[in-house]
Chains A and B, each alone.
Chain A
Amino acid sequence: MQRGYKLILGSSVVIGAATGAGAAQAETMNVTVTIPRLSVAEYHRPYVAIWLEKEGAAPRTLSVWYDVDKAKGEGTKWLRDMRQWWRVSGRTMSFPADGVTGATRAPGEQKIGFTNGKGPLGRLGAGNYTLVVEAAREVGGRELLRLPFNWPPKPGATVRVKGKSELGAVSVSFGK
């Protein structure tokens, strides 16, 4: 287990502005979130929030996985347990949020893709961003991981971090 969040860059990774005319620019962002399989007496799938931060800009919620099927929207009661996301973005949203919220996901590698200019990602301006992933589990713990990147990245660029408790490997990679 790593102490702290280690940023591991892929072999050919470049985190930096794409330069010059003709440089291919990434248009898609693919996020992989590994939800660890835990052997605990009482297991519930974690709530997960994925959002983008950029200095000087309002945080942008990309995806929230929660207990959407509970009667009378009772699953929203625990959204605040993803406390950093709740503070920066969640508390001003209404739920369910079209194109953003979905059901909780099972242990294993979970993938979600975004396209520049579409859906919750919107059109990204150039700059330094941080993709943030926060997970909170009922009768369990909470973990938050930060993945910094520069937009626009080169296609193929990947940022990886590894969680310690409520999250496993988390990565974001960029493609055309």
Chain B
Amino acid sequence: MKARHVIAGAVGALLLSGAAQAHRQWMLPSSTTLSGNESWVTVDAAVSNDLFYFEHNPMRTDNIRVTQPDGSEGKIENSATGKYRSTFDVHLTQPGTYRIASVSTGIMGSYMVNGEQKRLPRGTTKDNLAGAIPAGATNVQTTEASNRNEIFVTLGAPTATIFKPTGAGIELVPVTHPNDLVSGEAATFQFLLDGKPAAGLKVTAIPGGIRYRDSLGQMDLITDKDGKLTITWPQPGMYWLNASTGGGREGGEAMGAPGSTAQKPQRPAGPPQRRASYVTTLEVLAP
């Protein structure tokens, strides 16, 4: 049961049932702006309700990848997973901006066989989809979900090499560099969905420290026709930024009753639906 929770947390809130979707997945770096010839960041990774507190589940770390400023792959070190959070370190040895990301693409869905609805097993991908559906299955419905949870940290001056889009899922392209944010200033980001500007994408930003205030302080934004939006940071601190499309909690169509796929109105079998989610944690410094 514990292992199952951990896995669900890693794959993302989208895979959980309605009740669990209230949880937020995040990575929180010890610092995003660093000086020196080399440095370390330590990152907490968890799934929780309040930001940024460890109170629900750890995030799994085995899918976390580090991209160094020159584009080469780095590594996480000293990784450990506890009851409520995971933690790991990244050694910054090159000047410039690093990406630390957990990216997953999976296929969810269901089919009818012998009059019974079955769900596709976790871990189903494009490659093994055919083998996951038994002969004689009817009313096959699939949804491809791309989830990206990433953070950026910079040693020295910010660089842009790592922002080359992959073309899969929701991606952030800086107009303002995400490690160059100051309260009171406006920052502009562009969002892509499968490599193209994501127009009309709903994006939310929530400042950390929720536990010690009454109101969420959530900022609801929507991208323009070029997939761009501008945020003026009301105060310094860590912000959780989330975007999703094609279902899911924020910014998508409703997913139906909690945990009850069978009660959802049947839709005809057809081309896969597209779901994607994006999470990042942004540090906004005081002027």
Contact = CB atoms under 8 A, between A and B. Distances in A.
B34 A80 contact: yes
Interface residues of A, number: 15
Contacts of A91: 33, 35, 156-158
Given A84-B287, A87-B180, A87-B182, A92 B157 contact: yes
Interface in B34-90: 34-37, 39
Contacts, number: 34
A83 B285 contact: yes
A87 B32 CA distance: 13
A131 interface: no
Contacts of B287: 84
Interface residues of B, number: 14
Nearest to A84: B287
Contacts of A161: none
B286 interface: yes
A37 to B, nearest CB: 26
B36 A86 contact: no
Interface stretch (A11-19, A71-79, A104-112): A71-79
B180 A76 contact: no
A90 interface: yes
B285 A77 contact: no
Given A87-B180, A87-B182, A91-B156, A80 B37 contact: no
B36 A77 contact: yes
Interface in A84-142: 84, 86-87, 90-92
A73 B37 contact: yes
A86 B35 contact: yes
A73 B35 CA distance: 11
A87 B180 CA distance: 8
Contacts of A87: 180, 182, 285
A36 B229 CA distance: 45
Nearest to A82: B35
A77 B39 contact: yes
B35 A90 contact: yes
Nearest to B180: A87
Contact of B286 (A73, A78, A80, A83): A83
Nearest to A91: B157
Contact of A76 (B37, B182, B285, B286): B37
B36 A74 contact: yes
A75 B37 CA distance: 10
Contact of B36 (A76, A84, A92): A76
Contacts of A80: 33-35
A74 B36 CA distance: 7
B157 A77 contact: no
A83 to B, nearest CB: 6
Most buried by A among B36, B158, B286, B287: B36
Interface of B: 33-37, 39, 156-158, 180, 182, 285-287
5 contacts: A73-B36, A77-B36, A83-B286, A87-B180, A91-B158
